[in-house]
Every structure is written in structure tokens, then in C-alpha cells.
Amino acid sequence: MSDGLEGVVAADTVLSDVDGQAGRLIIRGQSLDELAGRATYEEVMRLLWDGFFDDLPAELAPALGAARLDVFAEVSALDTGLLDRTPIEAVRALTARLADGDDLAVALRLTAAPAVFTAAVVRAQAGEAPIRPDPGLSHAADTMRMLRGKAPSRAEADALDTYLVTVSDHGLNASTFAARVIASTRAGLTSAVLGGISALKGPLHGGAPGPVIEMLDDIGRPENARAWIENALEHGERLMGFGHRVYRVRDPRADALKAAVRRLTEASDIMPGRLAFAEAVEAAALAILKERKPNRPLDTNVEFYTALLLEALAYPPSAFTCVFATGRVAGWIAHAREQLVGGRLIRPQSHYIGPLPLRAA
């Protein structure tokens, strides 16, 4: 058996292809280079969902804006018990209040949910009231406006759009696989998305970017990087933002997001010097990983520059995974629909290695 199902092909899909040797990501026939920084999140939703819903409108932005308003009603369920939880747990709990189903209306509400709930949770944890969505804005611009209470600059909205597009789909990653397994039982899209959120929150998957900021803050200065990293590895820790199950070269999303951070910092005076510092830490980490694991290519993954980008957009690190879910939800839904339309119940077998009964029955 393959440990961690490495190398196992578990589904046919038209949605995305991750080429780990070439470092290439294709989303529905288009390379990430063609989409990141060029397409809007709504356009990529359309690309992913095309053919999986009969009634898909030509323009998804108004329908998604209306869905944001619709799910905003659930924010009133945020109570003190939920506010003590991590943002991703609170977002998951609010998402669980949405009705299950398989149609476009359910899909739109689920796509709106992480954007609306993340903003409300972050604000409530800071003692601030939630902000009602503006259905006339783009999803990226409204996502940021609901967080801050004022419209983002064009450069900020573009940066978030680039992020949401970049993480919208990525083959059969752990959260997408979880979503497909749940969809295969015909439990409904809400159940599939809740499974996706639950898998995403782990630090080996979508929970990594928050700890990247902790690492950068702890290192503090470029000259401390080598000693800090060596000490972490000697204590058996993993460097967050490095390594990948499929990529044996650099994750192409890392460069798409680094370019977005560069555009954002050039368009404003946000965090001058932070990008150069992060690049120095990255270079030290790559050199040390190469020295210590010469037989296992370990390169930068999507989470390293995710952390820089979301930090520049003033998201608290505790909410980074929620923003990841805000982008990935369109992919989970597309995979769930693909599974539902063309797939069977996913039910593999296990290999029993436990004890046998002492006496045969």
C-alpha cells in the first residue's frame, strides 16, 4: 500500500492538473500564469463550474453578491462561545447553519459564506460590529470592505483577487479529496464544503501560513535565519511554507503570489523591506533543506508567500486559513459536482494488520 496514498490516482477530473515535476498548474485548460493577476475570482468560478450546473448565469458577480447578502443573516448566530474559538472553527460553525443541497443557489451561498463569516468573526473578536455586504462590489473588494469597514484600494482588491484565483483549485489535495468523498455519498454540497474546511485547517495543509508569520517574526533579522532554521530542524520541526506532496520543484503558486506581493508593495508603502527579508529567510531555508535532505527535493510552497500577501492586506494570521477557504471553496464545489454527476460512491478497502481471533468461529 502507498503510504498517505502517494502516487495513487483516485479520480478523473477536468478541473485542474498539478504537474509536480514541471512545477505547472492547469485550471480547466488554462495555466496559472494565464489566470493569476488577469482573471477575477468570479471568472474562475465560472470556468470551474461550467457544465456542472444547468442554470449558470453568464455573469456570476451579481448572483454571488446577492448570496453574500443572503448568508449575512447567519452572522447573528455568532455568540461568545463561538468567539472563543479559532476563526476557522467559528467560520465552520456558521457554515454548518446553511441548508444542504446540490443546486446553484446552495453553491453560491457556500461560496459567499467564508468571505462574509471571516470578516464578521475577525471583527467580532476585535469587539467590532459586522459590516453588511455590498452586492454591487466584486467578491474580492467586498471581502476586504467587510473586514475593514472601508473600500480597499484597487491594488489591494487586485491582490486579494489574485490570491483567491491562485488557490481556487489544485487537483486532489487533502481537502478536495475529503469534499469528493462526502459528495460521493450524496450528502450535499454543504456537507462536502464542511469536510473541505475541516481538512484544510490542519497545519500540514491550509493551516501553514499563520505559522510562517510566527517564524518570520521570531527570526526577526536576516542574519538570524540560519541559526533559527537549523535549531528548528534539530528539534524535529518542519519549516512551514516548504515541501509538498506532489511538487518536486517550486510550487508555481509561490511565484504568482510573490509577484502579487511585489505589485502591492510597489503600489503602496505597505511593509517596506518585508519582502526582501522574507526572500532572505526563504533562501536560507532552501539552502539548509538542500544540505539536510539531499535526496528529497524540498522547495517553497504556496503558503510562504500567502503569508506575506495576507499580512500585507492586514489579515490577522489567525484568519489566514479562512481566507484560503474563501478561495478554495469554488474548487471544492466544482469537484463535489463533478463527483456527483459522474462518479460512484468512494469506498476503498483497508488492509487488516491487527490480531486474528484466537479460535476460528
Residues of this chain that interact with ligand ACO (CB under 6 A) are 4, 173, 204-206, 208, 238-245, 293, 296, 298, 301-303
C-alpha distances in angstroms, 148 versus 144, 145, 204, 303? 6, 5, 29, 23
CA 273/CA 279 separation, integer angstroms: 10
Catalytic residue of the set 139, 244, 282, 338: 244
Which residue lies nearer to ligand ACO by CB, 72 or 163?
A: 163
Exposure string over 289-320, b if 16+ CB within 10 A, otherwise e: beeeeeeebbbbbbbbbbbbbbbbbebbbebb
Least distance in angstroms from the C-beta of 208 to ligand ACO: 4
Look-up of cell digits 447573528? 76
Query: Least Å distance between CB 32 and ligand ACO?
Result: 14
In whole angstroms, the minimum distance from the beta carbon of 205 to ligand ACO comes to: 4
Q: Which residue, 1 or 361, is less far from ligand ACO as judged by CB? A: 1
Distance CA 247, CA 91 (A): 30
- Known active-site residue 139: no
- Is-contact 255 308, C-beta < 8 A? no
Angle between the N-to-C axes of helices 252-267 and 154-166, in degrees from 0 to 180, rounded to the nearest 10: 170
Residue whose CB is less far from ligand ACO, 236 or 355: 236
266 a catalytic residue: no
| Residue with smallest beta-carbon separation from ligand ACO | 243
Least Å from the CB of residue 207 to ligand ACO: 8
* Of 5, 350, 349, 352, the residue nearest 177 (C-alpha): 5
The string of DSSP letters for 61-75 reads: HHHHHHHHHHHHGGG
Q: Are 176 and 170 in contact (CB under 8 A)?
A: yes
Neighbours of 57 (CB within 10 A): 13
Question: Toward ligand ACO, which CB reaches closer, 19 or 134?
Answer: 19
Q: Which is nearer to ligand ACO, 32 or 71 (CB)?
A: 32
Distance in Å, CB of 167 to ligand ACO, minimum: 8
Q: Which of 42, 74, 303, 311 is catalytic?
A: 303
Catalytic residue annotation: 244, 303
